[in-house]
């Protein structure tokens, strides 16, 4: 079989992938700015090229065959990688390039974005592209170079550098102190405790730190973002434990308050800059990593680099 037979034309692959993702020719044609007949023709031409049925055809829509569904996943990855490489080439003048990263929404909005103008001033030749964040760690996505994740710093196959987040603050609503009389850690048990789904043991750790035994750490509303928890505290829903790096602005502005001096705790979890070993030497990533670690943690306080089992040593 010739190499040409194994390399279908790019426009046929793009038409096939688009039809699969949209579930029909009509919407795919709109996305590709082509006529429906042109898209149908390209799909049939690809099927003829590979000699395998890629779709099961019904009156209302096209459904990919098992072989077509498997092939489309590979095609989509190749197209994304080609687009990323082309974009990096286009923006790579003067030693620059593009860097594709993802970040947790609250951390990105409250910590990372306010600091990025400095990076732009120092490195105007590098273009940052934010990839939609997904909760699971997945650097198999060809469009993703690096990510800021929340955890203990251990992700298989990833290099991880600690940034911030292990200093956790206890926050209460901004109301009259008489309405929320909290003068000792034991007083906390009288109020509603707000919980984050990613850190279900936070109140357990807090109670251990402060010697509080009568605390129902499993009661109270759950939230999936720290920003939502901060807003809930501002609304008077209860008390919360939030990484100080995300809530210091609200504390300083008096939008929430710390009812106890030293009332927080040191967590084992925090925010980490992560990337796969294979991308370690990418110039744009190296530059961003160096800047990020400089603004995040003073050298004397920096935690060591952690590597997943696949990249130890």
Is there a contact between 25 and 36 (Cβ–Cβ < 8 Å)? yes
What is the C-alpha separation between 205 and 199, in angstroms, rounded? 10
Identify the band that residue 255 occupies on the pLDDT scale cut at 50, 70 and 90.
very high
**Helices marked H in 63-134 — which ranges?**
66-90, 105-107, 116-122
Q: Which two tokens stand for residue 19?
A: 């039809």
- Assess whether pLDDT exceeds 70 at residue 115: yes
User: Tell me: the pLDDT tens digits for 128-148?
Assistant: 989 888 766 666 666 788 999
User: Tell me: the pLDDT tens digits for 52-76?
Assistant: 899 988 766 678 999 989 999 888 8
Confidence (pLDDT) at 107: 95
The per-residue pLDDT of the chain, averaged, comes to: 84
Q: Select, from the ranges 3-7, 174-178, 213-217, the one with the highest average predicted confidence (pLDDT).
A: 213-217
Confidence (pLDDT) at 204: 94
Give the whole-number percent of the chain exceeding pLDDT 90: 47
Q: What domains are defined for the chain?
A: 10-88 (1.10.10.10), 91-165+269-311 (3.40.190.10), 167-266 (3.40.190.10)
How distant, in Å, are the alpha carbons of 6, 269, 277 from that of 161? 41, 12, 13
Phi, psi of 89, deg, nearest 5: -65, -45
User: Tell me: the pLDDT tens digits for 86-100?
Assistant: 655 655 555 568 888
Query: 220: alpha, beta or left, given left = phi > 0 and alpha = psi -120 to 50?
Result: left
Q: Where is pLDDT greater, at 214 or 241?
A: 241
Identify the band that residue 2 occupies on the pLDDT scale cut at 50, 70 and 90.
low
Confidence (pLDDT) at 311: 33
Q: Which two tokens stand for residue 203?
A: 């109140």
Nearest Cα neighbor of 143 from 155, 156, 134 is 134
Identify the band that residue 299 occupies on the pLDDT scale cut at 50, 70 and 90.
very low
Confidence (pLDDT) at 309: 37
Confidence (pLDDT) at 277: 79
Q: Is 290 exposed, middle or buried (0-12, 13-18, 19+ CB in 10 A)?
A: exposed
Confidence (pLDDT) at 303: 43
Q: Is 312 exposed, middle or buried (0-12, 13-18, 19+ CB in 10 A)?
A: exposed
Name residues whose C-beta falls within 8 Å of residue 154's C-beta, 6 or more positions apart in sequence.
Answer: 160, 306, 308
* Residues making up the chain, counted from first to last: 313
CA atoms within 13 A on the CB side of 21: 16
């Amino acid at each position: 079989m010739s190499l040409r037979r194994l390399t279908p034309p790019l426009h046929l692959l793009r038409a096939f992938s688009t039809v699969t993702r949209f579930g029909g020719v009509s919407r795919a044609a709109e996305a590709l700015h082509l006529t429906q007949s042109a898209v149908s023709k390209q799909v049939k031409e690809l099927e003829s090229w590979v000699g395998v049925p890629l779709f099961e055809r019904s009156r209302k829509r096209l459904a990919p065959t098992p072989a077509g569904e498997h092939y489309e996943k590979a095609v989509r990855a190749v197209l994304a990688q080609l687009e990323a490489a082309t974009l990096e080439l286009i923006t790579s003048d003067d030693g620059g390039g593009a860097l594709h990263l993802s970040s947790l929404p609250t951390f990105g909005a409250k910590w990372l974005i306010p600091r990025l103008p400095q990076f732009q001033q120092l490195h105007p030749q590098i273009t940052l592209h934010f990839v939609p964040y997904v909760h699971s760690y997945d650097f198999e996505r060809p469009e993703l170079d690096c990510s800021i994740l929340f955890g203990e710093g251990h992700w298989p196959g990833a290099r991880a550098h600690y940034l911030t987040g292990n200093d956790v603050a206890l926050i209460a609503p901004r109301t009259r102190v008489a309405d929320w009389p909290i003068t000792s850690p034991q007083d906390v048990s009288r109020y509603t405790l707000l919980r984050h789904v990613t850190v279900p043991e936070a109140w357990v750790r807090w109670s251990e730190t402060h010697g509080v035994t009568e605390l129902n750490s499993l009661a109270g509303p759950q939230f999936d973002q720290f920003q939502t928890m901060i807003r809930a505290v501002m609304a008077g829903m209860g008390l919360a434990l939030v990484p100080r790096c995300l809530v210091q602005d609200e504390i300083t502005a008096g939008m929430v308050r710390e009812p106890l001096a030293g009332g927080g705790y040191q967590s084992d979890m925090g925010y980490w800059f992560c990337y796969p070993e294979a991308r370690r030497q990418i110039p744009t990533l190296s530059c961003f990593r160096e800047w990020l670690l400089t603004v995040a943690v003073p050298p004397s306080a920096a935690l060591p680099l952690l590597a997943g089992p696949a990249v130890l040593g």
